[in-house]
Structure 1
Amino acid sequence: MYSDTGDMTLLRRFGTDPGSLRAKTYIPNNLSKNGPLVVVLHGSNQSAESYNNGSGWSALADETGVALLFPGQRRSNNAIRSFNWFKPGDSHRGFGEPLSIRQMIRQVVDDHAIDPSRVFITGLSSGGAMTSVMLATYPEVFAGGAIIAGLPYRSAGTLMQAIFRMKGYGGPSDRTLDALVRGASNFAGHWPTISVWHGGRDTTVDKSNADSIVRQWQKIHKVEGPPTRIEKVDGVPRQVWCDADGRVAIEEYIISRMGHGTPIRGGGDDGLGEEGKYMLEVGISSTRRIADFWGLTQ
C-alpha cells in the first residue's frame, strides 16, 4: 500500500479515489500511538515536495512527532495542478476531490493509529480554498483548519466566478456564506477552529477573501462582531475571536507587506522552510504558529 519516494512515502491505495488525486505521507520516527495528523494541501504550480520544502512541515513533524499527509493534484485534472475547489463535483461531501482526501485521511488514521480527534488541515491558495471545502463538508473529521491565501467555501461555482472572487469582486452575502457551511453536512457537533492567513499585498487572491472566510465561520462559532483582542506575534497583528468559554475559535493574520504565498521564517533557532516561489520570507513562520494554535508544539 505504501511505496518510498525519498523522504515521503507514496500512499498507493486509499479507497475509490473519485477525485483521481495522489497522496504522500511523512511519518516521523517519533510518532506515538494516538498521535496527531496534519493534512497539507499545496497551491497551484506546486507539488507536495515543493510545498513541504518551502513550508518546513516535515522538519516540524520531526520536532513534534506529528504525522503528515500530502494530497496532490494531477495535471490531468488541472493544467496548473490547482485543486478544483470551485467545481460543483469537487466541492460537496461524498464526491470528487473532497471524498478522495477523506479516504486518504481514513487510511492514514487506520494505518498509523492516529488519534481521530487530532486531525488538522491546512493549505495555500487553491489548497487553501480546498481546505475551506474540507472543513465545511467534513467538519467532524477536523479539530482545526488553517487557510492561507484562500477563499471561502462555495464562494464560486464556475471558473469565471472563481477568477472574479480571487480578485475580490462580488461573492455571497454573509448570511449565504454561513448557510453554505451549515448546508454542507448534517454536522451538529463541535466545529473545527479556524486560522486565516493572508498577504496585504496579494494581487492573486485579494485579501478581502480572508475577511470573508472569518465572517463565514463567525456565526457558526458564535463569535460575531469585532475581535476579542488584537495582539502582535513576531511583529504581525493577530486578531482572535474567543467563544463563551474563552477558547480561541478563529484567528486571523493579515501580513501587510506580503504578496501571494505562505509566510515563512527560515532563519533563527526556530526557523522552518526555505524561501522560494510562493514561499515568502517575512519573519514569521505560519507553519510553526499554526502548529502552536493547534497545540502540537506543547
Structure 2
Amino acid sequence: MHADRSPRRRRTAWIAGLTAVVIMILAVPAAVAQTRTPDGGQDRHGSYSSSEGRIGYQVHLPPSWRADRPMPVVVAVHGCGMTGSGLNSMRSMTRFDDLADREGFIVLYPSQSLLRNVQLCWNSLSPEHQERDRGEPELLAGAIRQVVDTYGADPDRVHVAGASSGAGTAVIMGVTYPDLIATVTSVAGGEYRFHAAEDRLDTVTPVDTARLARAEMGPRARQVPLLVVQGEQDDVVRPFMAERLVQQWLALGALVASGRPEVDTVPTDVERVEPPGGHPWTRTSHRVPGQASVDSYLVEGMGHTWSGPRASGLFADRDGPDLSEIFWEFASTRPMS
C-alpha cells in the first residue's frame, strides 16, 4: 500500500524494483519438492494455477504435523522487494517457522511473480485484484484451499498476516473470502479500496469504503477479527492509513451486524508499553458487543518494517515488539466458528 507520490517515494519504488530483480536473479530455486529441517520439520514447495494465472509457494510443516491432525494455517504475505521464502523473505523476517514448530501450525509462504509486478509488490491498489474469483485474491484462495486439502489442515483456522503491499492484500482477502479467512493481520497496510479515497481523503471516509467492503462480501458477509500494526515513523505508509483501516473495519462490522455503519469508536482498552532498550508502543483494543475484535498497535520510532528480536532482512527491526508473537496471540484464539 503506497500513499506517498513524492519524488522520494518514486526513488524508493525504483530501488525496491531493482532489489526485486536482484533477488530473483540470486535466489536459487528449489531442486526438490521436499526438504527436512534440522529439528524434524518439513519444507515443501508447491504451486496453484487457474485461469487467473499461477502462484508459487513454500509450505513449512512443524515436526508435530500429522495428516490426521488438523492444524491451523498461517498465510504470510510478503511486501515489495521481497519473496515468500527466498532471499529477503517473509520467512526470515517473521521467523514464523520457529513459532510454528513450537505452537503447532502450518505456514504458507506465497511469492509474487515478476510477471504481475516487477517490484514483487502485491497489486493491492489495483481494482482487478480486489474482487473474489479474480486476480491475486483468487490465486491466494486457491493456494490456501490446496494446502488445507493436501495437508489435512483445519479450514476454520486459516489466518492471513501481511506486510506493506502484502498487508493490503491480507485485508482484501478478509473482504473477498470471509468464508475462508479466520483473521487478518495488517502490518504497514491500509483499508480495502483505499485507491477510491486516495485523492479525496477529505470527502471519502472510512465509512464510504466500508460500504464497498460490505458490498464485496455479499452473502458471505462475516465479521473478521483484525489486528493492525503501524510504525509511527513509517514514511511509506503513513500512520493515518492504519487509523482509517481501524475505522473502516469497525464500520464494516456494524454494517454486517445491523446494516448500519454507526458504531462506538471509543476504544475498550488502551495500553502503553515502554520496554527497556526498545521501541515503546501503544495497543488500542476495540471490543464492540456483537462484533469482531479489532486491535491496533502504534510503535514509536519504527519505520516501514516488521519487528521482532530475531527478525532479519532489509525490512526488519529488532528493537520493536515481537510482532510474530503478537500476531499468534491474537489469531490463535479466534477460529472462524
Question: Which range, TM-score by smaller chain?
Answer: 0.7 to 0.9
Most deviating of 59-68 and 170-179? 170-179
Unaligned runs of 5+ in 1: 267-272
Q: Could you say what secondary structure the match of 1:78 adopts?
A: coil
Letter of the 2:323 partner, please give it. Answer: S
Structure-2 separation of matches of 1:19 and 1:177 = 28
SS in 1 for 2:326: helix
Q: Sort the Cα spacing of 1:86 and 1:201 in 2 relative to 1 into closer, same or farther, 3 A.
A: same
Cα distance in 2 for residues equivalent to 1:232 and 1:187: 39
Match of 2:308 among 235, 252, 264: 264
* Cα distance, 1:4 vs structure 2: 2.6
* Paired positions, count: 280
Retained in 2: the 8 A contact 1:119–1:141? Answer: yes
Change in Cα spacing, 1:5 to 1:89, as seen in structure 2 (3 Å) is farther
The TM-score with structure 1 as length reference comes to 0.86
Structure index of larger Rg? 2
Counterpart of 2:332 in structure 1 is 295
In the TM superposition, 1:66-105 aligns within 5 A as 66-105=105-144
Task: Report deviation, 1:205.
Answer: 0.9
Is the 8 Å Cα contact of residues 232 and 301 (structure 2) preserved in structure 1?
A: yes
Change (3 A) 1:17 1:258: farther
Is the contact made by 1:17 and 1:99 (CA closer than 8 Å) also made in structure 2? no
Aligned pair partner of 2:150 in 85, 104, 111: 111
Shift, 1:3, TM fit: 1.4
Partner residue in 2 for 1:231: 271
The residue that corresponds to 2:54 in the other structure is 20
- The answer to whether the 8 Å contact 1:20/1:97 transfers is no
Partner of 1:37: 73
In structure 2, the partner of 1:48 is 84
Residue type at the aligned position of 2:216: A
Q: How many percent identity over aligned positions? A: 25
State yes or no: 1:177 paired with 2:209. yes
CA distance in 2, matches of 1:23, 1:293: 25
1:4 to 15, 29, 34: 34
Structure 1 residue 182: Cα displacement: 0.3
Check the 8 A contact 1:41/1:131 in 2, yes or no.
yes
**1:244 matches 2:276:** no
Q: Which moved more, 1:247-256 or 1:170-179?
A: 170-179
Question: Does 1:127 find its partner at 2:172?
Answer: no
Name the CA distance, whole Å, in 1 between partners of 2:299 and 2:317: 11
Instruction: Describe the superposition over 1:62-118 as per-residue Cα deviations: whole angstroms up to 9, x where unpaired.
Output: 111110111110112111100011112211111011000000011011111111111
Where do 5+ consecutive residues of structure 2 fail to align? 1-31, 38-42, 255-262
Aligned to 1:65: 104
Deviation of 1:261 after TM superposition, in Å, equals 1.1
Residues 17-26 or 141-150, more deviating: 17-26
Cα distance change of structure 1 residues 248 and 132 upon mapping to structure 2, 3 Å threshold? closer
Distance (Å, rounded) in 2 between the aligned partners of 1:72 and 1:227: 36
Question: 1:221 Cα deviation (Å)?
Answer: 2.6
Would the aligned equivalents of 2:72 and 2:153 in 1 still touch at CA under 8 Å? yes
* Deviation string, structure 1 residues 243-296 (Cα, Å, up to 9, x no partner): 316x87000001021010112122xxxxxx33x311112231111111011126
Cα-to-partner distance string for 1:193-247 (whole Å, 9 max, x where unaligned)? 00000100000111111011101110233453111011135542100001316x8
**1:34 offset after TM fit, Å?**
1.6
Give the conservation status (yes or no) of the 8 Å contact 2:223–2:292.
no
Q: Secondary structure at the match of 1:184?
A: helix
- Relative distance call for 1:62 and 1:256 in structure 2 (3 A) is same
Q: What CA distance in whole angstroms lies between the structure 2 residues aligned with 1:121 and 1:212?
A: 20
- Partner residue of 2:228? 196
User: C-alpha root-mean-square deviation of aligned residues, in Å?
Assistant: 2.4
In 2: Cα distance, 1:17 partner to 1:231 partner: 47
2:248 to 205, 212, 216: 216
The separation in 1 between residues aligned to 2:36 and 2:64, in whole angstroms, is 18
Equivalent residue, structure 1, for 2:28:
none
**Equivalent residue for 2:175, pick from 102, 123, 136:** 136
Q: Distance in 1 between matches of 2:91 and 2:204?
A: 33
Following superposition, the deviation at residue 122 of structure 1 comes to: 0.6
CA offsets 1:161-185 (integer angstroms, 9 cap, x no match): 87x69xxx66831221211110112
